Amino acid sequence: MKTDRILVTGGTGYIGSHTVVELQQAGYNVVIIDNLSNSNRDVLDGIERITGIRPDFIEADCTDMNALSDLFNQYPDISGIINFAASKAVGESIEKPILYYRNNLNTLMNLLDLMPQHGVKGIVFSSSCTVYGEPDENPVTEAAPIKVATSPYGNTKQICEEIIHDVVRSGAPIKSVILRYFNPVGAHPSAEIGELPNGVPQNLIPYLTQTAIGIRKELSVFGDDYDTPDGSCIRDFINVVDLAKAHVIAVERMLQDKCIENVETFNLGTGIGLSVKELIAAFERATSVKVPHKIVGRRAGDIEKVWANPQYANDVLGWKATASIDDTMRSAWAWQCKLRERGIM
Ligand code: UD1
C-alpha cells in the first residue's frame, strides 16, 4: 500500500468510479467526495466487489468550501486530487448556464485555493475534446486551436483550463495534468460498475444499449448527410478503463515530480475515428444483438468529425488505449444486462 491518498471528486460517477478502481489496484488510498447528483451510493459496493476495498466516501458538494476544508483536515494525507466533479450535459447547460458555471468553476477554484495550505501537490483535471470545437484537421493534436465554445458546458472546460494555467502561473506550488477526453464508452469488464444515466440518455452508447435491451424503441442516428464516408458523424470512442488508467499515470507523474511543465495537457483517445453507423455495426457484430435504428435530422451543435492524435500521451505518459472496440461494446452490453438483472433498468 502506498502512503499517498488521492482525493477523487465525483468518484461515484462514470469515469470517476472506474478511476477509483484503478487507483486502488495500483495501491493508492482513496477518498471520494460526491454530492450524488448524478450517481448513487451503490457504486461503492461495485468498487468494493472489484477491488476488495471500500473507498472512504464523503457525501458533500465541492462548491461547499467548508465541507472541502473539513475533508482536507480529516484527511491530512491527501497528496493529489483527480477532479471529476462537474455537470456534463451539453443540452442542459444551454438551459441552465448558471448551474454549469457555478458547479464547474467553483469546484475547481475551491480545490485550487485549498491545495497549497494542505500540502496537496497536484490536480488532474477532466477536460474534453469539446475545446477543439469542429477541428480544422483530424486527427487532433494538443496544439490545435481552441475554438469558441458552442455551449456553457464546453465553455466551462475552456475556462477551467485557463484558471489552472493562471493559478499555476501566479506561483502556486502545485502541478496539474489536464486530460482532454474524446468519447469515453464501455464499462468495467466485471460489469460491477458502468455508466448509469439519469432519465433518457443523451449520449450515444447508453441510448444504444437501452434500445438493444428494449427500454427504448429505436435509436435515432442524428444525420447521415455529413461530409464523412457514410454520412454519419465520426468520433473517437475510448474505453473507460483505458481512460481510467491514464489518470493513475498522471497522478504518479505529479507525485513523483516527473512533469516536464507545471501544467501538462494530453489528448486521451484511441487515434481511430469511427462513425456512428460503424459503431452500431460494431455493437451488433460484437454482441450478436440487433439495434433498431433510423436516420433522423442532425442534432444542433454536433461536431461533424473529431478524433485524437494520442501520440503525445503515448510517448510522454507511456500510455496507450488498448481495448478493442468489440470488447468495449461487449462490456457496455454486459453492464446493461447487469442493470436489468438487478432490476434497475
Ligand atoms: C458530447 C460533448 C462532449 C461531452 C460529451 C459528454 C460536444 C461537441 N461534445 O459529446 O464534450 O464530453 O457529450 O456528455 O459538445 N448520437 C446519435 N444518436 C443519439 C445520441 C448520439 O446519433 O441518440 C450521435 C451524435 O450525433 C454524435 C455521436 O452520436 O455524432 C456521439 O454523441 P454523444 O455520445 O452525445 O457525444 P458527443 O456529442 O460527441
Q: Is 153 among the catalytic positions?
A: yes
Closest of 92, 59, 264 to residue 180, by C-alpha = 264
Largest CA distance in the chain: 55
SS3 content of the chain, % helix, strand, coil (to 5): 40, 20, 40
115-121: Cβ within 8 A, 24+ apart: 115/81, 115/172, 115/174, 116/172, 116/173, 116/174, 118/72, 118/76, 118/78, 119/76, 119/79, 120/7, 120/72, 120/78, 120/79, 120/80, 120/81, 120/174, 121/79, 121/80, 121/174, 121/175, 121/254, 121/255
Question: Over the range 263-286, which residues count as b (16 or more CB within 10 Å of their CB) and which as e?
Answer: bbbbbbbbbbbbbbbbbbebbbeb
**pLDDT tens-place values along the chain, 345 residues long:** 678 999 999 999 999 999 999 999 999 999 999 999 999 999 999 999 999 999 999 999 999 999 999 999 999 999 999 999 999 999 999 999 999 999 999 999 999 999 999 999 999 999 999 999 999 999 999 999 999 999 999 999 999 999 999 999 999 999 999 999 999 999 999 999 999 988 899 999 999 999 999 999 999 999 999 999 999 999 999 999 999 999 999 999 999 999 999 999 999 999 999 999 999 999 999 999 999 999 999 999 899 999 999 999 999 999 999 999 999 999 999 999 999 999 888
In the chain, where the domains are located: 5-185+238-268
Distance CA 65, CA 105 (A): 13
Q: How far is the CA of 238 from the centre of ligand 1 (A)?
A: 13
Distance CA 181, CA 14 (A): 13
Which phi and psi angles does 7 have, rounded to 5°?
A: -90, 120
- Regarding the beta carbon of 332 and ligand 1, being less than 6 Å apart is answered no
Q: What is the DSSP-derived secondary structure letter of residue 227? A: S
Residue 291: predicted pLDDT: 98
Distance CA 77, CA 92 (A): 37
pLDDT tens digit sequence for 132-173? 999 999 999 999 999 999 999 999 999 999 999 999 999 999
pTM, to two decimals: 0.98
Can you tell me which residue has the cell 471520494? 32
Look at ligand 1, atom 25, and give the residue with the nearest C-alpha: 222
Distance CA 67, CA 16 (A): 20
Residue of 128, 158, 204, 296 with the most ligand 1 atoms within 8 Å of its CB, for mutation:
204
Residue 66: predicted pLDDT: 98
Q: How far is the CA of 204 from the centre of ligand 1 (A)?
A: 6
Closest ligand 1 atom number to CA of residue 303? 8
Whether residue 188 contacts residue 312, with contact meaning beta carbons closer than 8 Å, is answered with: no
Residue type, 291: V
- Regarding the beta carbon of 305 and ligand 1, being less than 6 Å apart is answered no
Residue 197: predicted pLDDT: 83
Closest ligand 1 atom number to CA of residue 181? 12
Which residue is catalytic, options 153, 181, 207, 226?
Answer: 153
Distance CA 273, CA 306 (A): 7
Residue of 200, 207, 222, 268 with the most ligand 1 atoms within 8 Å of its CB, for mutation:
222
Assigned CATH class of 5-185+238-268:
alpha beta
- Regarding the beta carbon of 130 and ligand 1, being less than 6 Å apart is answered yes
Look at ligand 1, atom 35, and give the residue with the nearest C-alpha: 203
Closest of 121, 188, 210, 109 to residue 156, by C-alpha = 109
- Regarding the beta carbon of 204 and ligand 1, being less than 6 Å apart is answered yes
Residue 1: predicted pLDDT: 62
